[in-house]
Structure formats: C-alpha cells, structure tokens
Structure 1
Amino acid sequence: MKKDDLLLIIDMQNVYDQGGKWECLDTRGAARNLLKIIDSGMENVIFTRFIADEISPKGVWADYNKKYSDVNSDTYANQMLREFNEPLKKFPLYTKSVYSSLAIPQVLEACRKTAQKGGRVVVGGVVAECCVLSTVLALIDEGIYTVYLTDAVSGLDRPKEKAVELTFSGLSPLHLKMLTTSQYMEEAL
C-alpha cells in the first residue's frame, strides 16, 4: 500500500448485495476487503454510486431507465451498503448516471492529481464487467496507472469476472497491476 494512492470504491449499493435485483457474486467479500484497506489507514478514498438520470438521459440510457424504473425508484436499492456508513462520514461520495466513474469531474480531477503526485488509483467495487471495467479503461485512457483488486471487485458471475481479469491481463503490467487485497496491503509503503 502506498500513501499517495487513491482508493476508488465503485457503486457498493444495496441493489448489488445478496438478494438485490442486480446481485453480484460476492459483494459482501468485496466490501470486507475494501474495508480492510480503509481500516488500515488509507487516507485518500472516494466512493461513487450509480443513480439513473431521470431528467435528460442520453440515447440508450432512456431505454435503460424505462426497463429498470423499479430499481431507479427504489430508495433502499440505491443506498450504499451500511458497512460503509462510517467511512462515508469521512470520505466523499459522488453520483454518476453512466458506467465510468471518471464521468464525474471531481473524481477525474482527484485521479489526475493522484497520478501527478506519483500515486496510483486502486479500484474496487461492482459490477466488474460494467462500471468497474468502464472506469479502469477510462483511467488507462487518461494515462493513470491503476491497481485492480481482484478480490475487492465482484461481477454478476465468475465467468464475467474472469473475462474482465483476462482482458486486464493483456494490459498488465504496463497500464495496470492486478493484486489481491493482501498483496496490495503488503506492498512497501
């Protein structure tokens, strides 16, 4: 773990938890591992969440909103997992209505500043094959070195998680590094 790194926690909302409409394979395990990093003293953390743009969605997002209107209107489904209540008192939470967290200007700026200081963006959250994939590719396009936490990311199922890891293996080590939470935390400071 390096002190100049930024931990970017993507969309850890109830809808992706066990029993949620978009339940991911191991949201709980991802949450536990992200909390380990936070509890170890990580000082630079940002949370994002996905909330549908009901006012002026672009293109296919209007169809998406129509198809998932039940989720979009479910307050509980859109709340962050309760495990993050305490960290959310300390660290910012930004909202997006597209897959990539870099669509949020404050997140993009924080990631750029992290890279300028020699830090990396460490990514965890859900959904591996959707918002996480899109965010990591956007980070790479920005020239920002990324750490993908294999056990702090969850997808809808194991084949999709593995497909994302296979894709990223072709980009490693030049653009990103894939580590477990333990491996990341054991890195020299």
Structure 2
Amino acid sequence: MAGIRDAAHLCIDMQNIFAKGGVWETPWMERVLPVISEICARYRERTVFSRFITPERPEDRRGQWQAYFTKWQRATRGNLAANALDIVPELARYSPPALIVDKPAYSAFFGSRLGHLLVERHVDTVVVSGAETDVCVLSTVLGAVDLGFRVIIVQDALCSSSDAGHDALMTMYRMRFSEQIDLVSAAELFDMWRPD
C-alpha cells in the first residue's frame, strides 16, 4: 500500500450525544477513544472533526428527517443538554488547531464546508475514524469516494452501536470497494503517514 501524503484525518461525530449516558450512546466509543486520541495528537493540524447538529424541532427539517426527529424528539436541540453536541472532552482539546465542521445530516460532506475545505488544502486522501461505522461514517466514506478522494479507514478507530452493522460494513468495504478504500490499523497508519 502506498504511503500517505496530502491527507486529512476526518474524525466523524465523536460527540457527547454518542458517548456514555448520551441519547444515542455508542458502547464502543470508550474503547476506541485512546486510538482516535493518538491519531489526533499526531496529526493535529490535519484533523477535522465533524459534528452532527440536530434541529431545534422536528419541523425544522424536511421530508423523512421530520419523521426521524419526531421519533427522536429527545435528540433535538430543544431537548438536549447544552453540551450534548460538543466533541467529547478527550478529543476537543485538539481543537484548535484541529477544525470543526458542522453538518445537518449523516454525511460530513452534505450541507457543510468540508469538501471546499479539503480542496483548498490540496487534500487527496482522507483518513477516517469515528462514529458510527454503519451510519455517519458510512455516508461520509461514500461521499468521499464520490468526490474522488483516496479513502483510508482506520479499523480500530471506529465504533458503532451495532456489532452486526459494523462487521457487515467492514466486509462490504473489503469486497466491493477495494480499489477506492483501504482498511488499516492505527499502527499501520502511523507507519504510512509521517507527521508534517
């Protein structure tokens, strides 16, 4: 596998709402936090955190998002604690210099400035970590593929609330996207990508 240059680390939705005790608690988050923290520490200036920003009220979104947030009213900003959508403290300490990009949907590329930001920085490779493997990470990864980025997924830096969903996605990436997506461990990443 080729070395990594001109890359950005996209850390997807590692927010309090997904942490222990959050509305959308992701049980594995605590297990992958040390790995993600090490990635952020090595590539502080190359890290971009995404935050999934929920609407104030369900009717503030259109189409099926209204039905979704009607079911998940407790996840709307009108019902959340003030810090629920913040990046978890273990990672928030890296910003700045790490950047934060807010998004209204699953993909970090949808309704955000992320695509333009990466082009401005001459990024051609995105290194992906975060939550959840089979929802926001999936949507972001497919968006990155569509935009022509080389995608590297750090397998031991992903978390999900569904073991079956996580495992299915890892299999799909290997079998269906091997020309566009590489799966690596954090140790392999550190060998491939030397800090600037």
Partner of 1:93: 100
Q: Deviations over 1:38-59 (max 9, x none)?
A: 2224421111111113463120
Instruction: Say what the alpha-carbon RMSD is for the aligned residues.
Output: 2.0
Q: Deviations over 1:11-40 (max 9, x none)?
A: 111121123232223112322112111222
Question: 3-state DSSP class of the match of 2:154?
Answer: strand
Within-5 A mapping of 1:176-187:
176-187=181-192
- The alignment status of 1:69 with 2:50, answered yes or no, reads no
TM-score, with normalisation over the residues of structure 2? 0.86
- Percent of paired sites with the same residue: 23
Shift of residue 161, structure 1, vs aligned partner: 0.8
Higher helix share: 1
Partner of 1:38: 40
CA distance in 2, matches of 1:105, 1:79: 17
- Taking structure 1 as reference, are residues 160 and 5 closer, same or farther at Cα in structure 2, changes over 3 Å only? same
Of 93-102 and 1-10, more deviation after overlay is shown by 1-10
Question: 3-state DSSP class of the match of 1:49?
Answer: strand
Partner of 2:144: 139
Structure 1 unaligned residues grouped into runs of 5+:
none
Amino acid at match of 1:157: S
Structure 2 unaligned residues grouped into runs of 5+:
none
TM-score, with normalisation over the residues of structure 1? 0.89
Deviating above 4 A after TM superposition, structure 1's stretches of 4 or more consecutive aligned residues are none
Q: Deviations over 1:112-139 (max 9, x none)?
A: 456x55x310111101110000110111
Q: Deviations over 1:56-80 (max 9, x none)?
A: 3120111122221212221233222
Question: 3-state DSSP class of the match of 2:60?
Answer: coil
Shift of residue 105, structure 1, vs aligned partner: 3.8
Kept in 1, the 8 Å contact 2:44–2:97? The answer is no
Partner of 2:55: 53
Partner of 2:161: 156
